[in-house]
Structure 1
């Protein structure tokens, strides 16, 4: 498991990773994006922003970096950065397949990505990822598995993924939607030759959406590394959108709402890596303060009141505009 390398890291931020969804493409659904990124979001501008974030993250002890085929040019930007720093050999690189980016570098496309979990898409995107990241790729994840995903039952696909695992690639999956727990539990049952296929799971979990928690504990107990995404709920837990209960705890700790929101996840015993989705270096630095936030039981109880019904949470997320 490549994540064993993180266990040897000594920095407090080694359990915080950097996700590139917000900077690998000009359009995304994070609130406040108009302030975070320049109006002229050229390929070169976002490449430079991505490299600035990677430089800062690595300097601060971040060692897991997360991309996806559907995150625009995120794999390309990451590959460029790795080539510019051949001395860096202690990072864990993860990417995902299953969505095809279709926005053609615009913010107003009718569809920004198209989902397909079939073997043909896997083979095409695996080749595309390999062309960019080569043997630097450690982890390849099925992007956004839901309970009805054919990726859970397609034996041909499972055999292809098992072949990649036999060649040294770690195979994982991510989840989305109100039935994340069902998808996680179904994926835990997938095996090839009597051996579990998946070694990692990446799920949405934050102060507003906690429904996957028990299933993530089960995945952890089964030996999977748990990666948490969308810890900031696409900006809903950051200033100025954060609910008052979160703001109050932030004031008490002397940290930002973002640091407290991520610290809440870091407290979960099953959380292996918690992703920052920062779009600016100051955001990243504030996110990394989560490693130093100490929440007491009373503060944790107040934050627990923020949890929403998962169906309502995902309905609201679906209504966030791409911008």
Structure 2
């Protein structure tokens, strides 16, 4: 698996990845986005910003970069950076299929993305991803699997995914929604010719939403690499919005609430890669202090009081505006 590159890396930030959801398109649901991006969200401006973030991340030890077909032009921006930076042959590149970007580079579209987990969608989107990323694409994940997703039961799709895996592509899945644990366990049971199909899982886990933790531990024990997304809860755990318990621990550790929030995830023994979703180099630099946060058991107990029910968390997330 390409993730063995991360296991042998020596930089303290190697297990933090950079997700491009917030900068590959002009509209997203992260809080504080207006301040982070300003009014100029042209293709060229976000292309330049993405390259600045990728340069900064790589210089500070980040080696995993995460895109998706539905993240606007994230794959295109990443592909352009990889062509420019011929010295970055040690990075791991992941993307996702299953959602189509439909906002036409606006922030006020009726629908920003449309979900489709069919075999037809997979074949179309894999061709699109490979046209941009070529052999730099290491990991391809089904985007936001839920327990009712047809991707969990479509045998023909499973066969095609297994074929791609035999060709060298790592096959994984991501999850979203209040039933993440159920989706993870269902995906772990998917086999082709008696062998597990999926080698990675990417799920939401943070101080507010911890429900997937036991299932992610099971995935890790089964040999999957666990990637954690939304460790900052779409900005709800960032400095301007951080709840009191998080601010208290941040003050005691001398680092920002964002670093503490990501440190909580890094502390989980099953966490392989934890994504930063930073949209500015300053926020990225702050996020990358996470490995230096010294969390005591008392800190962890205090932060555990922040956990919400998955139903409440995902209902709140669903109310966040695209802006």
Band of TM-score, shorter chain: over 0.9
Counterpart residue number, 1:228: 228
Measured in 2, the distance between the counterparts of 1:107 and 1:215 equals 35
**What's the CA shift for 1:294?**
1.0
Cα distance, 1:246 vs structure 2? 0.2
In 1, the alpha carbon distance for the partners of 2:213 and 2:71 equals 26
Other structure's SS at 1:174 match: strand
* CA apart distance, 1:238: 0.4
Structure 1 residue aligned with 2:16: 16
Aligned to 2:155: 155
Give the TM-score, by structure 1 length. 1.00
Pairing 1:111–2:111 present: yes
How far residue 38 of structure 1 moved from its aligned partner, in angstroms, is 2.5
> Where does residue 26 of structure 1 map in the other structure?
26
- Aligned ranges for residues 218-297 of structure 1 at < 5 Å? 218-297=218-297
C-alpha separation in 1, matches of 2:87 and 2:244: 45
* Structure 1 runs of 4+ with >4 Å offset: none
Deviation string, structure 1 residues 104-128 (Cα, Å, up to 9, x no partner):
0000000000000000000000000
What residue is the counterpart of 1:193 in the other structure? 193
For residues 196-252 of structure 1, give each alpha carbon's deviation from its aligned partner in whole angstroms, at most 9, with x where no partner exists. Answer: 000000000000000000000000000000000000000000011110000000000
Shift of 1:40: 1.4
User: 1:145-172 CA distances to partner (integer Å, 9 max, x unpaired)?
Assistant: 0000000000000000000000000000
Alpha-carbon distance in 2 for matches of 1:239, 1:9: 30
Post-superposition offset of 1:41:
0.4
Distance 1:321 1:21 in 2: 15
1:170 is aligned to 170
Task: Give 3-state SS (helix, strand or coil) of 2:75's partner.
Answer: helix
1:74 Cα deviation from its structure 2 partner = 0.1
SS of equivalent to 1:124: helix
Q: Does residue 89 of structure 2 align to residue 69 of structure 1?
A: no
Q: Structure 1 stretches of 5 or more lacking a match? A: none
Residue 91 of structure 2 is matched in structure 1 by: 91
Asked whether 1:134 is paired with 2:131, we answer: no
Q: Partners in 1 of 2:248 and 2:13 — Cα distance? A: 24
Distance 1:195 1:12 in 2: 34
Q: Structure 2: state its 5+ residue gaps.
A: none
Deviation at 1:44, TM superposition (A): 0.2
Distance (whole Å) between structure 2 residues aligned to residue 243 and residue 212 of structure 1: 21
